[in-house]
Structure 1
Amino acid sequence: MTPLDELCQVPFHEAEAPARARILSRLADTELFVALLAEPVADKADLRLFDLPEGRFALACDREDRLAGFVGGPVAHLALPGRVLAAALAKEGQGLLVNPGHASQLMLDPEVLAWLVRALEARPGMVSEAARCLHAPEHGAVALLAAPLAQRLGDMSGLVGRSALVLAEWADGRRGHALLLDGVDPAHQPAIAKALAELLAFLPALPGGVDIGFDAPNLPAGALVLEPPPPPAPPAPVLRDPKAPPRLR
């Protein structure tokens, strides 16, 4: 099972809109192996395109063996992020067939790819002032954001400390949710804010939006707190048999 498979417990084209959006978000961050007509020459690669009743589609898989298995043998291919492939195909008016025959099979026409590209252009709304008051997030916000945020922040292990989702009341009277992150190196803050903005762009909008801040003050009771996953345990030492002969160098 790949991360895309795990998100496709319900087939993509039968899933509700929020689930489809989460799948497309994961696709954008997935390394895809796209079939080529021949090995790349210098910086030029010709995609292998398939004429289907729905149009012309490139073929890509999230594992090399899946691509070879579908084609029936070794095939020239190129590895690149899903977002890059989607942008190139949308520009040419071509579709993308992903993981045919597997749980995460996707047939994405040029319109869907163009929507994906627009969503990836999202820019973060940043916390620009201290909130007048912080409250526990609304139940609907927790239901919508808890799982996607946990997954995306898990991808940022080692870059983000504690995170919290709260409902903020600003000095001008506006109310909206805020995602507050601790322990982020200032050099990484723009990239992390952009990645979270992309995630939010794939989800239904919340009233007042969700701003992103890099300071988690005293949190209200009921805040949705996401702790970073623990670092992986070091491998256990290999114990040598005391009865083994000495190692000669």
Structure 2
Amino acid sequence: MTPLDEICHPPFHEADAAARARILSRLADTELFAALTGEPTGNQVELQSFDLPEGKFALACDREERLAGFIGGPVAHLALPGRVLAAELAREGQGLLVNPGHVSQLLLDAGMLRWLVEALAARPSQTGTEAARSLSAPRPEAVMLLAEPVAQRLGDMAGLVERAGLVLAEWPDGCSNHALILRGVDPAHEGAVAKAFAELLAFLPQVPGGIDIGFSTRDLPASALILEVPALTAPAEPAPRDPNAPPRLR
């Protein structure tokens, strides 16, 4: 099972709009292996295209062996992030077939890829909470919508963010909205981290009043939703090999 497989329950084409958006968000952050017509010539490559009833589609998988298995043998390929491949295909008016035959199979036409590219262009609405009149517990509907996807994004950003707090902020003018406060972020990385969370929010249904992203050091209320980043675990040391054992062939 790959991370893309794990999020495709139910499968993309049976999921509701919110679940499909989360799957597309994961696809954008996934390294894909796209089939080529032949070995690269200099820095020029040509993607394999397949004519389907829905149009022309390029082929990519999230594992090299999946790509070879579908083609029926080794194939020249290009590894690149899903967001980069989607942008290139959207410009060319092509669609994308991902992981055919697997639970994470996606058939995305050019229109869907253009929507994905537009969502990835989201810019963060940043704020601090120092000027807020009060901070309180987030609304239950916001917690239900945000807890799982924010926790997943935090897991992707271990080492960059320590924790996130979701609160409802009330401002001096009487307006209120939710704020996602990120802690433990190097100031040099704040722009990129805020952009990553803005992209995540762009794929989710709208929360009334919107959601700001901030890096405030203000104490958060006990009623805030606090999400911790999972601790990084060092890979296990391999067991020492018996020097008298026969060689292992690959």
TM above 0.5, yes or no, is yes
Separation in 2 of the partners of 1:153 and 1:235? 23
Helix, strand or coil: the match of 2:166? strand
| 1:116-131 matched pairs, under 5 angstroms | 116-128=116-128, 130-131=131-132
Deviations along 1:196-248, one digit per CA (max 9) or x if unpaired, are 0000000001011110111242212321101121231574696899xxxxxxx
Q: Which residue of 1 aligns with 2:73?
A: 73
Separation in 2 of the partners of 1:43 and 1:157? 33
Taking only the aligned residue pairs, the percentage that are identical comes to 70
2:194 equivalent to 1:200:
no
Separation in 1 of the partners of 2:186 and 2:22? 27
Structure 2, unaligned stretches of length 5 or more? Answer: 243-250
| 1:49-198 matched pairs, under 5 angstroms | 49-128=49-128, 130-198=131-199
Further displaced range: 232-241 or 52-61: 232-241
Separation in 2 of the partners of 1:79 and 1:181? 31
RMSD, aligned α-carbons: 1.7
Deviations along 1:79-103, one digit per CA (max 9) or x if unpaired, are 0000000000011110000000000
Kindly indicate whether the alpha-carbon contact (under 8 Å) linking 1:164 and 1:216 is maintained by their aligned counterparts in 2.
no
Deviations along 1:41-100, one digit per CA (max 9) or x if unpaired, are 111100100000000000000000000000000001000000000000011110000000
Aligned residue pair count: 241
How does the TM-score come out when normalised to structure 1? 0.93
Q: Which residue of 1 aligns with 2:224?
A: 223
1:172 CA drift (Å): 2.1
| 1:1-40 matched pairs, under 5 angstroms | 1-40=1-40
Separation in 1 of the partners of 2:40 and 2:209? 48
1:163 CA drift (Å): 1.2
1:130 CA drift (Å): 2.1
Kindly indicate whether the alpha-carbon contact (under 8 Å) linking 1:95 and 1:109 is maintained by their aligned counterparts in 2.
yes
Kindly indicate whether the alpha-carbon contact (under 8 Å) linking 1:32 and 1:80 is maintained by their aligned counterparts in 2.
yes
Q: 1:50 to 1:235 in 2, by over 3 A?
A: closer
Q: 1:213 to 1:76 in 2, by over 3 A?
A: same
Separation in 2 of the partners of 1:240 and 1:8? 39
Helix, strand or coil: the match of 1:184? coil
Separation in 1 of the partners of 2:13 and 2:47? 25
Separation in 2 of the partners of 1:162 and 1:65? 36
Further displaced range: 136-145 or 227-236: 227-236
Helix, strand or coil: the match of 1:225? strand
Helix, strand or coil: the match of 2:204? coil
Q: Which amino acid aligns with 1:46?
A: E
Q: Which amino acid aligns with 1:178?
A: A
How does the TM-score come out when normalised to structure 2? 0.92
Q: 1:102 to 1:184 in 2, by over 3 A?
A: same
Kindly indicate whether the alpha-carbon contact (under 8 Å) linking 1:34 and 1:47 is maintained by their aligned counterparts in 2.
yes
Kindly indicate whether the alpha-carbon contact (under 8 Å) linking 1:163 and 1:216 is maintained by their aligned counterparts in 2.
no
Separation in 1 of the partners of 2:240 and 2:81? 41
Separation in 2 of the partners of 1:11 and 1:167? 34
1:162 CA drift (Å): 2.1
Separation in 2 of the partners of 1:58 and 1:234? 36
Q: Which amino acid aligns with 1:124?
A: P
